[in-house]
Amino acid sequence: MPLVIGIPAEVAAGEKRVATVPEVVEKLIKLGFAVAVERGAGAGANCGDDAYRAAGAEVVDGAAALWSRADVVFKVRAPSLDELGLMRDGTTLVAFVWPAQNPDLLQRLAAKRATVLAMDSVPRISRAQKLDALSSMANIAGYRAVIEAAHAFGRFFTGQITAAGKVPPAKVFVIGAGVAGLAAIGTASGLGAIVRANDTRPEVADQVVSMGGEFVAVDYQEEGAGVGGYAKVMSEGFQKAQRATFAQQAKDVDIIITTALIPGKPAPRLITAEMVQSMKPGSVIVDMAAEQGGNCELTEPGRVVVKHGVTIIGYTDLPSRLAKQASTLYANNLLRLTEELCKTKDGVLDVNMDDEVIRGTTVIKDGTITWPPPAPKLSAAPPAAASPKPAKPAEKPKGHGHGGGEPPSARRTAVMFAIAAVAFWFIGASAPAAFLSHLTVFVLACFVGYMVVWNVTPALHTPLMSVTNAISSIIAIGALVQVAPPLMTGAADRPATWILGLAVVSIALTTINMFGGFAVTRRMLEMFRR
């Protein structure tokens, strides 16, 4: 019998997301699983029971029936105490668990001999990006934060000049340039606002600029990158300089969006009551860290409040406010995880603790708590500190002359130049004059092309190379020269058949190269246009 994946309705207040959607149900069934969905589980995400049935899922009445049938349970939020009472011993649970914040929940799940994979614990490594549900939800939350801010702001984001007067653009300040922050920057910039952003990691400045924002640096030098790509807790000196920067921005901007969170820790307080009081009346703060206490001192989690004339939005369900989109992306993350757990496509899960991704995601294995996972392996870990050994003075090679002989690299260079000189002399002595002129142009073209590419910013190498590929297809002219005379003159000087054939093939290939080069360049440049 195949394992049954159960999809219960979420019981958390206001939660509209569902752990899978009908489009993904079909793919889970192809992996060998049976899928059972609680009646009405997808109603909040516009996924009806009939759509689940059409995809091959069984629709079950009531949470008790669903939990009793499921061997594997896919959820969005961690199970409640009532749901834990319905869970069978030995069940595999996949959900957002937040093990650092919920130690009691871990103990209760371990008592059920469960195997638990926490989607909030997926390692932040390249191979695990397709499973990264945190990034998926943060992307949606960042977008929705700007929409909520625009709704509460009561003015255009973009500047306008009309017969009725001039409307200045809104000024938006985003604190934190992770996935959520970059999504907010891109959305606000797309709506026409002037966007500024700050992050403790200075290396994200280029990403902020690429999304249409301006990076606001703190006048204090300190490395801000922590484990797994997250920010770290900064020193008191940095925090003091940071507060001064934020206070200055609060007086000038119309909207502040805060995204600062460090996994396993309360949200840092970055916006003080004094900063809120200094903001212009009608300004808006969207505190995306409200669920963990908030980045603003005056935030009330789950509520919208007005303090000192400033609207402070503390919603804790931003992804749920785009339930259909959020459910689809989360369902795809769960599908990719299931593919990693069931590589044989036989409906059996293999929680392989030797796999770095699976090990990092698994917080309980067969009733044994395995969280926290071991530190991720570094591909290029620095060698262990050791007492430095004094370097031996380099010995001069024995030889003749003032310097005791040339080093091998210089000798090789001299030999290569000598060989090249002989080769050029031979070509100049025996080759026709026309060939020499072509060779000179070829060598100069190689040198100029190399120097041009060498002096271009590395970030532009890919669009540059796609254009140069198209331009270099001037070889098509040579092919046309071979094809054109027979077509135009009839021709007594028709080239050999094999030459004509190669010319036709060359024209076809260079046409593809030219079209593809310009098409790729156009698509890449569109990414940076507003």
Cis bond before residue 491 (omega within 30° of 0): yes
Taking phi over 0 as left and psi of -120 to 50 as alpha, with beta for the rest, 342 belongs to: beta
59-73, 213-227, 454-468: least confidently modelled range: 454-468
330 is a catalytic site residue: no
- Using DSSP bridges, classify how beta strands 310-313 and 304-307 pair: parallel, antiparallel or unpaired: antiparallel
**Element containing residue 174 per DSSP (H, E):** strand 171-175
The answer to whether 357 touches 124, Cβ cutoff 8 Å, is no
What is the pLDDT at residue 388? 45
What's the rounded mean pLDDT across residues 225-235?
61
Cα separation of 255 and 150, whole Å? 9
Work out the widest C-alpha separation in the chain, in whole angstroms.
95
Q: Which domains does the chain have, with CATH numbers?
A: 4-121+342-369 (3.40.50.720), 138-321 (3.40.50.720), 413-527 (no CATH)
> Which is more confidently placed, 113 or 384?
113
Give the phi and the psi of residue 196 in degrees, each rounded to 5. Answer: -120, 155
Cα separation of 416 and 424, whole Å? 12
Cα separation of 96 and 45, whole Å? 18
Structure tokens at 428: 């100049």
What is the pLDDT at residue 201? 87
Q: Active site residue: 135, 292, 327, 473, which one?
A: 135
Q: Which residues contact 441 (CB under 8 A, 6 or more apart)?
A: none
> Which is more confidently placed, 343 or 456?
343
Burial group, residue 166, by CB count within 10 angstroms (0-12, 13-18, 19+): exposed
What's the rounded mean pLDDT across residues 315-319?
96
Cα separation of 397 and 406, whole Å? 8
Q: Which residues contact 450 (CB under 8 A, 6 or more apart)?
A: none
Cα separation of 8 and 16, whole Å? 12
> Which is more confidently placed, 31 or 383?
31
**Element containing residue 337 per DSSP (H, E):** helix 323-341
Q: Active site residue: 71, 120, 132, 199, which one?
A: 132
Give the phi and the psi of residue 312 in degrees, each rounded to 5. Answer: -115, 115
Confidence of residue 519 (pLDDT cuts 50, 70, 90): confident
Q: Is pLDDT at 303 greater than 90 in this prediction?
A: yes
What is the pLDDT at residue 203? 87
Give the phi and the psi of residue 171 in degrees, each rounded to 5. Answer: -110, 125
CA distances from 115 to 22, 92, 207, 339 (A): 25, 5, 38, 17
Cα separation of 108 and 320, whole Å? 27
Confidence of residue 198 (pLDDT cuts 50, 70, 90): very high
Give the phi and the psi of residue 165 in degrees, each rounded to 5. Answer: 140, 175
What is the pLDDT at residue 433? 73
Count of alpha carbons within 13 angstroms of residue 9, beta-carbon side: 20
Q: Is pLDDT at 396 greater than 50 in this prediction?
A: no
Q: Is pLDDT at 199 greater than 80 in this prediction?
A: yes
CA distances from 452 to 457, 459, 474 (A): 10, 14, 18
101 is a catalytic site residue: no
> What one-character-per-residue DSSP string does 140-193 give?
HHHHHHHHHHHHHH-S-SS-EEETTEEEPPPEEEEE--SHHHHHHHHHHHHTT-
Q: Is pLDDT at 247 greater than 90 in this prediction?
A: yes
> Which is more confidently placed, 516 or 149?
149
What is the pLDDT at residue 403? 45
243 is a catalytic site residue: no
124 is a catalytic site residue: yes
Q: Is pLDDT at 132 greater than 50 in this prediction?
A: yes
What is the pLDDT at residue 312? 98
What's the rounded mean pLDDT across residues 77-106?
96
- Using DSSP bridges, classify how beta strands 171-175 and 255-258 pair: parallel, antiparallel or unpaired: parallel
Q: Active site residue: 80, 129, 221, 437, which one?
A: 129
The answer to whether 80 touches 101, Cβ cutoff 8 Å, is no
Number of H helices, E strands in the chain: 17, 17
Q: Is pLDDT at 229 greater than 80 in this prediction?
A: no
Q: Is the dihedral of CA 12, 16, 19, 22 positive or negative?
A: positive
What is the pLDDT at residue 482? 75
Confidence of residue 236 (pLDDT cuts 50, 70, 90): confident
48-62, 282-296, 424-438: least confidently modelled range: 424-438
The answer to whether 84 touches 103, Cβ cutoff 8 Å, is no
Cα separation of 220 and 239, whole Å? 9
Cα separation of 228 and 102, whole Å? 21
What is the pLDDT at residue 232? 61
Q: Active site residue: 53, 88, 124, 243, which one?
A: 124
Q: What is the pTM assigned to this prediction?
A: 0.72
Q: Is pLDDT at 359 greater than 60 in this prediction?
A: yes
Q: Is pLDDT at 372 greater than 70 in this prediction?
A: yes
Say which DSSP state 286 is in: E
State the chain's mean pLDDT as an integer. Answer: 86
135 is a catalytic site residue: yes
Q: Active site residue: 53, 88, 101, 230, which one?
A: 230
213-217, 229-233, 331-335: least confidently modelled range: 229-233
Cα separation of 169 and 413, whole Å? 61
What is the pLDDT at residue 428? 76
What's the rounded mean pLDDT across residues 477-485?
75
What's the rounded mean pLDDT across residues 432-448?
77
Share of the chain above pLDDT 90, in %: 61
What is the pLDDT at residue 491? 52
CA distances from 523 to 47, 109, 517, 528 (A): 34, 49, 10, 10
Give the phi and the psi of residue 305 in degrees, each rounded to 5. Answer: -125, 160
What is the pLDDT at residue 205? 94
Q: Is pLDDT at 202 greater than 50 in this prediction?
A: yes
Q: Is pLDDT at 12 greater than 90 in this prediction?
A: yes
Q: What does the pLDDT look like over 117-128, one tens digit per residue?
A: 999 999 988 899
Confidence of residue 381 (pLDDT cuts 50, 70, 90): very low
